[in-house]
Amino acid sequence: MSRKRQNDRTGIAMVYTIVIMIGLCALCSLAVDFGHVQLVKAELRRAADSGALAAASQLRATRSAAIAKAVEYAGYNKADGTPVVLDQVKDIEFGTWSPSDKKFKATTSTDISTCNAVHVTARRITARGTSVPLMFARVLGQNTCDVQAETIVEFIPGVHIDDNISATANPYLSGMPAGSVASLNNPHNSPDYAGTATNPLQSPLQVALPLSTGDLLTFDSISGDARHDPNLADYAPDGELDDIGTNTNGAENGISQLRAPINALVGVFLDENQPNLTNHPDMLDYSTDEKRNHVINQPKLKQLFFIGDGLTKDGVKQQFQVPPGATRLFLATWDFFEWNNNSGQRNVRVNRPDKLLIVK
C-alpha cells in the first residue's frame, strides 16, 4: 500500500472519529443536560405552585398583599440550588379563570376583589442572568438554557347553607322516590314514607350545596332539639348518650346500618343514583366518646355518619370529607325505628370553606 493511500485512510478515520465524538457529545448533552433542565423545570413548577396558591389565598385582600405572598412563598423554593425570585410585574398576574373554556384573562386593575384566579410564572432566563448552565452542550456552542414553569390557581369561594332538619327525617329515605318505604317492621306497624318537596313526610333534607370529592365540610350554629317519642324528653344534637343502638330494620334501601346515640343529628353522602340499586356499605360505630371525637371524618358513599353538634368533646370543629363520587348530602335524625312519631327540629349551618384549585 502506498504511503499516500495510508495517509488518506488515516485522515478519513480521523474525520469519522470527530463525527462520532460530536455525536457522543450530543447524546451526553441530551441525557445529562436535558435531565438537568427538566429537574430545574420541576423545581420552578413547585415554586410557581407555592406562589400562586399563596397569592390566591389573598384575593379578598389587596393586590400588594397578594403579590407579597406570592414572592414570599415562591422564594421558599429553590431551583438549580438558589431561591426562586419572582418579578412582581412580569411574573404575577391576577384575573379570571373560565372553567368552561379553560382560559385565563388577566387584569391590570389594582382592585382584585372580583378576580378568581392567579397566574404565576417562575423563570430561569438569560435576560435576568439566571439561565440554567449546560455541560456537554457547550461543545455544540450552547452554554445555557432558558427554563420557565407556570401555574394558574382558581379561588372558589366558600358556601354556607342554613337548613332546618325535622326530627321525623328518616335517613333511610335519602335519595328515594316518593312512596318509598323504610322502617317497615316496628312495634306499631307504622312505617315511614318518602314524600315530595311540598309534602316531605319522612324524607330527609337534601342540602343545596355543590359537592366535590375531597371537600371538607363543617357543621355549626346547630340549634334545636329532637325526641323520638312524644312522651319522652328532648335531646340536643349529640342525642341521648345513654341510649346508643342500631336501626332494628338493619341497613335499608342500600344505606348502611349505624350505631349512634338516639336523637342525634346524622348525615349520608349519595351520588346521583338511587341508593337501593347497589349494596350497602359497612356500618360506622359511634358508641364511645373516642369514636365520636375524630377531627377528620371520612365516611364512604351511602354510609351513615354521626354529626351531633359538629364538635369534639374539647370544642374542636370537626371536618367531614366528601367521598369519591358524592354529589348529594342528606341530613336527618337518628332513631331505631318509626321516625313518623318523632317531634322537634334543628337548624344547621353547613359550611364548605374557600377552596384553592390548581387548574393549570
Contact call for residues 249 and 185 (beta carbons, < 8 A) = yes
Dihedral angle sign, alpha carbons of residues 251, 252, 253, 259: negative
Indicate if 99 and 178 belong to the same structural domain. Answer: no
Indicate if 237 and 137 belong to the same structural domain. Answer: no
Residue at which a domain ends, from 156, 183, 198: 156
Residue at which a domain ends, from 156, 191, 209: 156
pLDDT number for residue 4: 47
**Which has the closest alpha carbon to 360: 67, 22, 16, 95?**
95
Whether 164 is in a domain gets the answer yes
Whether 136 is in a domain gets the answer yes
Long-range contacts (CB closer than 8 Å, 24 or more residues apart) made by 295-298: 295/319, 296/216, 296/321, 297/321, 298/323
Contacts of 24 (CB under 8 A, 6+ apart): none
Indicate if 21 and 102 belong to the same structural domain. Answer: yes
Longest dimension (CA), the chain: 123
Indicate if 89 and 171 belong to the same structural domain. Answer: no
Quick check: helix, strand or coil at residue 34?
Answer: helix
Contact call for residues 201 and 195 (beta carbons, < 8 A) = yes
Indicate if 32 and 150 belong to the same structural domain. Answer: yes
What is the pTM assigned to this prediction? 0.76
Q: How many residues does the chain have?
A: 360
Whether 169 is in a domain gets the answer yes
pLDDT number for residue 7: 47
pLDDT number for residue 23: 58
Domain that holds residue 334: 159-354
Indicate if 107 and 168 belong to the same structural domain. Answer: no
The identity of residue 269, as a single letter, is: F
pLDDT number for residue 14: 65
Q: How many domains does the chain have?
A: 2
**H helices of 215-341, where?**
289-292
Indicate if 212 and 247 belong to the same structural domain. Answer: yes
Indicate if 148 and 201 belong to the same structural domain. Answer: no
Indicate if 285 and 339 belong to the same structural domain. Answer: yes
Whether 325 is in a domain gets the answer yes
Long-range contacts (CB closer than 8 Å, 24 or more residues apart) made by 94-97: 94/55, 94/59, 94/63, 94/66, 94/118, 94/119, 95/119, 97/152, 97/154, 97/359
Indicate if 139 and 163 belong to the same structural domain. Answer: no
Whether 360 is in a domain gets the answer no
Contact call for residues 119 and 106 (beta carbons, < 8 A) = yes
Indicate if 264 and 346 belong to the same structural domain. Answer: yes
Mean pLDDT by 10 residues, the chain (360 residues): 49 61 60 84 96 94 95 95 94 94 92 94 94 77 89 93 94 97 91 94 93 93 91 92 94 97 97 97 96 95 97 94 97 96 94 91
Indicate if 146 and 194 belong to the same structural domain. Answer: no
CA angle 74, 79, 84 (to 5 degrees): 35
pLDDT number for residue 36: 86
CA angle 31, 36, 42 (to 5 degrees): 125
Whether 359 is in a domain gets the answer no
pLDDT number for residue 139: 65
CATH number, domain of 259, equals 2.60.120.430
